[in-house]
Structure 1
């Protein structure tokens, strides 16, 4: 026993010393005070459990990466931005009458992209509808296809996508495929090799481009983008995996939403992909339209050729850890503040920061109908526990909370009054606010808002509205788990 203590004692002391040093680093470098407190407390009290995770996940304010990415983005936006931003984004065409002057101005400045008129958008309310539409668009591609997902699995759906892209590449269509290196960590090499052998340009997205960044795992590209020939683009919550088709009990049936966009906003969505592709490869994808029957000469064709006429205003809002502002969090704050009648939000995770939670509470005080729909089943234990405590706090503030009953709810939708709707990849949590690369598409159109309202009403009908008893009647150990989980909310 004396021999063991002689060896274990110094190790325990060393762990605590390193924990104190790491806690000091967290206080100096973590972006928010909540995050600094969460890391500092856990590193000092439980260094044996948190030192290694902090090494990989704790550097949310990673200046070297953020500066490099920001410089590249600014360079691209000054040299290669879509012409539609100049030709179609006029002050006369902005939807200020419907949404209000202040939100329109702030959101365009926040995202660095304009509201663009003349778009048509439709909802794709499940995995079958989403991937049927995506695969159909790929099948009819004539010039190029761009694909970007956070998770790509080597399962039945992954094989379908792979076969579709290989077929188009062999026809001479240019195919670009970007996947997140962390979200798709288990994607086998043979899957990537088969696509590359067929001529598909396929690359992982990683923030650790330099050796000094090798331990950086906190920043993840959570975007889901598909675009074909500059005519059709798809954005939403689905990744590539059979669970998104509802084929993975006990989470099935999976509830998620994608949208198909046609019109000038497609160019904005493509440009978000261009920024990510350039970071990953240091090359620009060739998205110029060419006539496949006339060699490599460019053809005179509209980016919206064969697309149905539309009159929606759309704003593409990308966000990420390299932004000068905390774009995603501020987007939610401004969207909530713009509401006068209602704010309905669906999200798989409810872990808001103080700014967003304050905006939700103030909306209730203004008399706004504030509803949040959450899953009743969990896919991540700690996040689910923290979400339960935030749900209880929300109920006490007068926010109505619903739990979707049929299966796992993964959709990310925001409905503002009867005017605007936003759909994309961002969750209502700190990871989306500050750590992930996300994309949302905000539409201002009463007809589409009504379509989204109808969709959400169907979801509410399949949901159970909860009250404070969900927390109060929970076992003591479950309530303790909720409070402990909330300590880690800044990094969940």
Structure 2
């Protein structure tokens, strides 16, 4: 925690991400708009909320009380003033330091502050563990947003992240996730309304939401990654903010590289969590020796949670490749099987590579002895990350 605090003080506030325009792809009758610049995303989120007529469902792991956070809050307040049903979820732990007055909403807005502790013995009752790490916005069932972006000014132009807007039948995937979570955790005796829970009116094989739900002990996102890695025959391109693969994912990537698949991973040169960086580094030598190529994104934090395979498959969502995301928190990732969206993701990956430095095996082996020792000493802490 001390190291993280020192690192954040030394971060360069002037470092910005490139302002690339969103990419659009058509998947059957569904439109996907992929964002890599936060301010573009927030502008479209506010526009969608301002057009709401029936309901606004918004969940965000972190919601900062700054300029961007206030702009989103003002938008949902305006929607509620028009008579729109507004339901908001934010994680109590992640927003602990956010001012209490900012987390106070007008009476017309229904708020679920996901509690830090939901049982006296969370280690024993694993159904009551996990943070709500999702980032979802659904408006009127016609448009939905999901991805890695939290809400805050820092993320508007200084973090490299990925989010997607869905328009069409697949919005149900995001709406259903919000409704299920809300109805399960709203509290039977609370004044929060029970939301209508409907089945999908149209099945779609191209876009599917995988949802990790600790309260039901269901963790399909990990299986989504493993299945795609196992199927790969040409390339696996991954971008992750925190990359600490478990044994099965690590072995799957190494097996893919052995059979000739082009396996590449982009991750931050310095993330906002030094412990996660150190533990991630403990895997580098084995991955590099096995043919996996690693790239450090320079200057700014890359926080995306994406992967694309063989120009046919892609995922965008909230889950990192680490234990907390894959076997701990509430998460949601969209699985998209479509060459047009896969091409969008590959194009974004190629663009990101221009800001990256490849980690070379020979140089990595020559890093200082004390760094190797710290990595070896801290690696067992991966179960916490």
TM-score by length of 2: 0.85
Confirm or deny: 8 A CA contact 2:235 2:310 kept in the other structure. yes
**Alignment of structure 1 residues 206-245 onto 2, 5 Å:** 206=115, 208-213=117-122, 219-245=130-156
**2:322 alignment partner in structure 1:** 429
**2:176 alignment partner in structure 1:** 271
**1:262 alignment partner in structure 2:** 167
The reply to whether residue 201 of structure 1 matches residue 201 of structure 2 is: no
**Distance in 1 separating the partners of 2:215 and 2:283:** 27
The reply to whether residue 281 of structure 1 matches residue 192 of structure 2 is: no
Q: In 2 relative to 1, CA 401–424 (structure 1 residues): closer, same or farther, beyond 3 Å?
A: same
Q: Secondary structure at the match of 1:488?
A: helix
TM-score by length of 1: 0.67
Q: What is the deviation of 1:371?
A: 0.6
Q: In 2 relative to 1, CA 223–170 (structure 1 residues): closer, same or farther, beyond 3 Å?
A: same
Q: In 2 relative to 1, CA 464–214 (structure 1 residues): closer, same or farther, beyond 3 Å?
A: closer
**Distance in 1 separating the partners of 2:75 and 2:255:** 48
Q: Secondary structure at the match of 1:201?
A: strand
Q: In 2 relative to 1, CA 356–323 (structure 1 residues): closer, same or farther, beyond 3 Å?
A: farther
**1:316 alignment partner in structure 2:** 209
The partner residue of 1:376 within 265, 269, 272 is 269
Structure 1: any 5+ residue segments left out of the alignment?
1-115, 247-252, 290-301, 305-310
**Distance in 2 separating the partners of 1:464 and 1:312:** 37
The reply to whether residue 142 of structure 1 matches residue 48 of structure 2 is: no
**Distance in 1 separating the partners of 2:194 and 2:348:** 36
**1:420 alignment partner in structure 2:** 313
**Distance in 1 separating the partners of 2:280 and 2:217:** 28
Q: What is the deviation of 1:210?
A: 4.2
Q: Cα RMSD over matched residues? A: 2.5
1:215-258 superposed Cα distances (whole Å, 9 cap, x missing partner)? 98951111100000000000000001211113xxxxxx310010
Q: What is the deviation of 1:322?
A: 3.9
**Alignment of structure 1 residues 97-116 onto 2, 5 Å:** none
Q: What is the deviation of 1:485?
A: 2.0
**1:185 alignment partner in structure 2:** 96
Q: Counting helix residues as a fraction of each chain, which structure ranks higher?
A: 1
Q: What is the deviation of 1:211?
A: 4.6
Structure 2: any 5+ residue segments left out of the alignment?
1-26
Structure 1 stretches of at least 4 aligned residues deviating more than 6 Å after TM superposition: 214-217
**Aligned positions, number:** 351
**Distance in 1 separating the partners of 2:114 and 2:363:** 40
Q: Secondary structure at the match of 1:238?
A: coil
Q: Counting strand residues as a fraction of each chain, which structure ranks higher?
A: 2
